[in-house]
């Protein structure tokens, strides 16, 4: 243990030295500025012009997905996923609340890390983007025509859903791996009995190719390690999935020391095709559990949440030849597969070198049973037998590797704050560039596919410090855009990001921009409380429950005068936006509401609940500046005492 502590100390020391270097580098860079090069020109997107790529940056602890244009770094949209969003009412309206339902009840927040775009034949196809929620394990699917979260599935038997959400090359599966191992089923037991008793679930969620609907196909119940990151095999290794592990020591306390004892942890190689076949032939065990499956119906825009009470679990020992461990030095974090599918890179956070495994050698070792022991009955392959190569002393604290389309890899180094470019196959370091500061993931558009678009590399940095004007103790995170078309990477741009982007995914804009929906057709509106014509405008009372069927169009509400509401009522405003034009949303807000406004897209219906607590005449108004007469887009609700006999009445345009 002493040794480890010393080692950690030396890392910290080096980190200190390196950050001084960074300071120098930064001064140098500032001195040159963008003026020495034409960097500014290369990220300049003229007014009215469009960016070349959509970049989807995970929101981290904001729980959302940030949509940025690249190369400009302009924020285009905050797309709500796992967290309530008052900007448009996500998670506040009656239609969207079920999307945030879980087996723990309504959970209006999460920590989202890794988006991944759907693929066909290993190439980005732009149908959907998936992203994980860590804290209450969930996977979301977002449609890239509407940029709306269409589905969220909870992952049972999982905790800290981190090695997620990564997809196979035809989007057959989206995969979710547990970071924390836990007792399965959950039970009251001593934490000290962790070792040998906790389980790590790796979940394979099938995706319907027509609708995108997700369903948990099976959960592989692995030993109680921490499963950190994962990536699919591709091309020749399609059919396999790789997961980094740490804490193979199965320590339950002070992991910073105790989980760094083993010289090597593992990458778990999972032959999912083999397990799929086993499951399709009746293998696996239906196990009681509870998880929520939430679906947004895209015709009505009403979400439903269903609690599912069983899941198919698979014991890896029941499917011989499906799961192997590849020894990988020192608590690997990132687990990355190159575009050819041959090389699997484990980035050992505490290792001096980068280890690259060979898929071909792995198959050979499996076939010839060149094992080096086993862990919980799962064969461990011999390190030397599967080693493709080592990138020697590339930097300190490697985290993640991305790939371009020219056979180069780009690894991020947290401690030495740099991106290092190296050659796949020769393992030679070609270039290194400092980042400001302490980079986590890097991203190349299509970098997790068979066809990367190797023009830009974006570093997502964990520490911002002095890069922008100070904003008090709390700063946004900082991303940096590099041009990677030449031999050397060139820093072009810094841009601030919301939340904490971990991973990001980007796609050429031309693949999706023409499919982007402009408005919803009223004739397709299947909302059960839609009001499609003025003759259907009405208010109905059912005891204390009042339903207002309202419409909005430039620049009035119908009705805009409402009387007969009483203190203690629960008023549902079902509001339909009758506009049939691009970019004419209207908002609805009412004084005293305990939720948010709602922003209603043209052709859609949304519902806000209001529980008036005070007698009076209370205004409501449109929140989105929709026309020259937007300020006139308003109305009043008269609220009478609870025992009032005033009948319901409503009107618009009446004196």
User: Which residues in this chain contact ligand CUA in the complex, by CB under 6 A?
Assistant: 555, 586, 622, 624-626, 630, 633
Provide the token pair at 412: 């991020």
Using the rule CB under 6 A, is 231 a contact of ligand RUQ? no
Burial (CB count <10 Å: 0-12, 13-18, 19+), residue 540? exposed
Q: Which is nearer to ligand RUQ, 301 or 441 (CB)?
A: 441
**Residue 395's binding partner out of ligand CUA, ligand RUQ, none, with CB under 5 to 8 Å set by partner kind:** none
What DSSP assignment string belongs to 579-594? Answer: --STT--EEEEETT-S
Among 399, 420, 548, 601, interactor with ligand RUQ by CB under 6 A: 399
Phi-psi region of 63 (alpha: psi -120 to 50; beta: other; left: phi over 0): left
**Residue 633's binding partner out of ligand CUA, ligand RUQ, none, with CB under 5 to 8 Å set by partner kind:** ligand CUA
Neighbours of 76 (CB within 10 A): 15
Q: How far is the CB of 619 from ligand CUA (least distance, A)?
A: 14
**Residue 626's binding partner out of ligand RUQ, ligand CUA, none, with CB under 5 to 8 Å set by partner kind:** ligand CUA
Q: Which is nearer to ligand RUQ, 61 or 636 (CB)?
A: 61
Closest CA to 400 of 230, 570, 204, 514: 230
Pick out residues in 159-178 that bind ligand RUQ (CB under 6 A). 162
**Residue 503's binding partner out of ligand RUQ, ligand CUA, none, with CB under 5 to 8 Å set by partner kind:** ligand RUQ
Using the rule CB under 6 A, is 333 a contact of ligand RUQ? yes
Q: Which is nearer to ligand RUQ, 103 or 135 (CB)?
A: 135
CA dist list (Å): 629 to 494, 554, 621, 623? 40, 8, 12, 12
In total, the chain counts a number of residues equal to: 655
Per DSSP, 375 falls in state: E
Closest CA to 72 of 86, 88, 52, 92: 52
**Residue 127's binding partner out of ligand RUQ, ligand CUA, none, with CB under 5 to 8 Å set by partner kind:** none
Q: How far is the CB of 550 from ligand CUA (least distance, A)?
A: 13
Per DSSP, helices labelled H in 408-515 are 509-512
**Residue 353's binding partner out of ligand RUQ, ligand CUA, none, with CB under 5 to 8 Å set by partner kind:** none
Number of chain positions touching ligand RUQ (CB under 6 A): 11
- Give me the 342-381 binding string for ligand RUQ, x by CB under 6 A, dash otherwise: ----------------------------------------
Q: Which is nearer to ligand CUA, 54 or 520 (CB)?
A: 520
Residue with tokens 């034409």: 38
Q: How far is the CB of 525 from ligand CUA (least distance, A)?
A: 18
In contact, 265 and 242? CB cutoff 8 Å: no
Q: How far is the CB of 406 from ligand RUQ (least distance, A)?
A: 25
Provide the token pair at 443: 């991203």
Does the N-terminal peptide bond of residue 185 adopt cis geometry, omega within 30 degrees of 0?
yes
Q: Are strands 199-207 and 173-177 parallel, antiparallel or unpaired?
A: antiparallel
**Residue 638's binding partner out of ligand RUQ, ligand CUA, none, with CB under 5 to 8 Å set by partner kind:** none
Phi, psi of 100 (to 5 degrees): -105, 15
| Sheet of strand 343-348, all strands in order from the earlier edge strand to the far edge | 332-337, 343-348, 354-358, 387-391
Q: How far is the CB of 553 from ligand CUA (least distance, A)?
A: 8
CA dist list (Å): 539 to 497, 559, 575, 634, 652? 44, 9, 12, 18, 13
Q: How far is the CB of 626 from ligand CUA (least distance, A)?
A: 3
Neighbours of 15 (CB within 10 A): 16
Using the rule CB under 6 A, is 138 a contact of ligand RUQ? no
- Give me the 258-297 binding string for ligand RUQ, x by CB under 6 A, dash otherwise: ----------------------------------------
Compute the distance between CA of residue 650 and CA of residue 634 in angstroms, rounded to an integer: 14
Among 18, 59, 88, 113, interactor with ligand RUQ by CB under 6 A: 113
In contact, 310 and 327? CB cutoff 8 Å: no
Q: How far is the CB of 577 from ligand CUA (least distance, A)?
A: 9
Using the rule CB under 6 A, is 502 a contact of ligand RUQ? yes
Pick out residues in 439-468 that bind ligand RUQ (CB under 6 A). 440-441
Q: How far is the CB of 60 from ligand RUQ (least distance, A)?
A: 8
Q: Which is nearer to ligand CUA, 356 or 633 (CB)?
A: 633
Q: Which is nearer to ligand CUA, 450 or 586 (CB)?
A: 586
Using the rule CB under 6 A, is 114 a contact of ligand RUQ? yes
Q: Which is nearer to ligand RUQ, 229 or 378 (CB)?
A: 229
Q: How far is the CB of 322 from ligand CUA (least distance, A)?
A: 57
Q: Which is nearer to ligand CUA, 107 or 589 (CB)?
A: 589
Provide the token pair at 579: 């506009």
**Residue 622's binding partner out of ligand RUQ, ligand CUA, none, with CB under 5 to 8 Å set by partner kind:** ligand CUA
Per DSSP, 181 falls in state: -
Closest CA to 325 of 263, 397, 373: 373
Q: Which is nearer to ligand RUQ, 221 or 399 (CB)?
A: 399
Using the rule CB under 6 A, is 527 a contact of ligand RUQ? no
**Residue 502's binding partner out of ligand RUQ, ligand CUA, none, with CB under 5 to 8 Å set by partner kind:** ligand RUQ
| Sheet of strand 148-154, all strands in order from the earlier edge strand to the far edge | 116-120, 123-133, 138-143, 148-154, 285-297, 302-314, 214-223, 199-207, 173-177, 166-167
Residue with tokens 């991106």: 419
CA dist list (Å): 487 to 395, 406, 432, 461, 492? 19, 11, 11, 23, 15
Q: How far is the CB of 575 from ligand CUA (least distance, A)?
A: 11
Q: How far is the CB of 365 from ligand RUQ (least distance, A)?
A: 28
Q: Which is nearer to ligand CUA, 506 or 599 (CB)?
A: 599
Q: Which helix (H) or strand (E) holds 174?
A: strand 173-177
Using the rule CB under 6 A, is 503 a contact of ligand RUQ? yes
Q: How far is the CB of 166 from ligand RUQ (least distance, A)?
A: 10
**Residue 624's binding partner out of ligand RUQ, ligand CUA, none, with CB under 5 to 8 Å set by partner kind:** ligand CUA
Q: How far is the CB of 333 from ligand RUQ (least distance, A)?
A: 6
Q: How far is the CB of 257 from ligand RUQ (least distance, A)?
A: 21
Closest CA to 131 of 222, 227, 52, 67: 67
Neighbours of 538 (CB within 10 A): 13
Burial (CB count <10 Å: 0-12, 13-18, 19+), residue 627? middle
Q: How far is the CB of 358 from ligand RUQ (least distance, A)?
A: 24
Q: Which is nearer to ligand CUA, 371 or 636 (CB)?
A: 636
Residues that bind ligand RUQ (CB under 6 A): 113-114, 162, 229, 333, 399-400, 440-441, 502-503
């Amino acid at each position: 243990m002493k040794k480890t502590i010393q080692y950690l100390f030396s890392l910290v020391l080096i980190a200190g030295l390196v950050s001084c270097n960074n300071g120098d580098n930064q001064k140098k860079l500032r001195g040159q500025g963008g003026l020495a090069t034409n960097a500014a020109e290369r990220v300049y997107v003229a007014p009215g012009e469009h960016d070349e790529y959509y970049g989807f940056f995970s929101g981290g602890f904001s729980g959302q997905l940030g949509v940025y244009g690249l190369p400009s770094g302009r924020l285009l949209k905050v797309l709500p996923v796992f967290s309530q969003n008052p900007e448009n009412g996500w998670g506040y309206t009656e239609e969207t609340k079920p999307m945030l339902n879980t087996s723990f009840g309504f959970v209006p927040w999460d920590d989202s890390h890794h988006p991944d775009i759907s693929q066909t034949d290993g190439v980005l196809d732009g149908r959907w983007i998936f992203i994980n929620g860590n804290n209450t394990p969930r996977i979301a699917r977002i449609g890239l025509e509407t940029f709306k979260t269409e589905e969220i599935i909870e992952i049972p038997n999982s905790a800290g859903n981190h090695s997620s959400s990564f997809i196979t090359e035809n989007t057959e599966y989206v995969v979710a791996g547990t970071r924390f191992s836990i007792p399965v089923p959950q039970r009251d037991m001593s934490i000290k009995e962790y070792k040998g008793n906790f389980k790590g679930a790796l979940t394979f969620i099938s995706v319907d190719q027509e609708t995108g609907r997700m369903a948990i196909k099976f959960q592989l119940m692995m030993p109680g390690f921490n499963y950190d990151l994962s990536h699919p095999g591709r091309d020749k290794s399609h059919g396999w999935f790789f997961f980094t592990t740490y804490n193979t020591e199965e320590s339950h306390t002070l992991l910073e020391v105790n989980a760094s004892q083993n010289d090597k942890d593992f990458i778990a190689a999972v032959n999912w095709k083999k397990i799929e076949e086993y499951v399709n032939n009746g293998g696996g065990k239906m196990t009681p559990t509870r998880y929520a499956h939430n679906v947004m119906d895209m015709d009505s825009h009403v979400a439903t949440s269903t609690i599912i009470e069983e899941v198919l679990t698979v014991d890896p020992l029941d499917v011989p030849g499906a799961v192997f461990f590849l020894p990988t030095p020192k608590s690997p974090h990132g687990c990355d597969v190159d575009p050819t599918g041959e090389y699997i890179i484990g980035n050992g956070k505490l290792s001096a070198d980068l280890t690259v495994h060979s898929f071909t050698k792995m198959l050979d070792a499996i076939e010839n049973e060149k094992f080096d022991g086993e862990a919980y009955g799962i064969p461990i392959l011999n390190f030397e037998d599967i080693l493709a190569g080592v990138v020697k002393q590339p930097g300190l604290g490697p985290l993640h590797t991305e790939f371009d389309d020219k056979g180069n890899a780009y690894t991020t180094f947290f401690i030495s704050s740099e991106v290092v470019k190296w050659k796949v196959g020769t393992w030679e370091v070609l270039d290194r560039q400092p980042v400001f500061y302490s980079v986590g993931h890097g991203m190349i558009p299509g970098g997790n596919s068979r066809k990367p678009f190797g023009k830009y590399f974006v570093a997502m940095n964990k520490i911002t410090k002095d890069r922008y004007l100070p904003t008090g103790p709390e700063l946004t995170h900082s991303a940096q855009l590099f041009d990677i078309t030449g031999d050397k990477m060139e820093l072009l741009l810094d841009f601030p990001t919301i939340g904490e982007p971990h991973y990001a995914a980007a796609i050429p804009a031309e693949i999706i921009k023409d499919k982007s929906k402009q408005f919803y057709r009223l004739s397709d509106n299947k909302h059960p409380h839609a009001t499609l014509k003025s003759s259907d405008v009405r208010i109905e009372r059912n005891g204390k429950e009042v339903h207002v069927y309202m419409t909005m169009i430039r620049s009035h509400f119908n009705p805009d005068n409402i009387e007969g509401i009483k203190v203690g009522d629960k008023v549902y405003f079902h509001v339909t936006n009758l506009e049939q034009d691009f970019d004419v949303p209207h908002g609805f807000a009412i004084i005293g509401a305990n939720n948010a406004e709602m922003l209603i897209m043209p052709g859609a219906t949304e519902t806000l609940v209001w529980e008036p607590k005070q007698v009076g005449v209370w205004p409501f108004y449109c929140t989105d500046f929709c026309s020259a007469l937007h300020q006139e887009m308003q109305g009043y609700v008269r609220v009478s005492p609870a025992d009032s006999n005033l009948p319901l009445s409503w009107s618009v345009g009446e004196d």
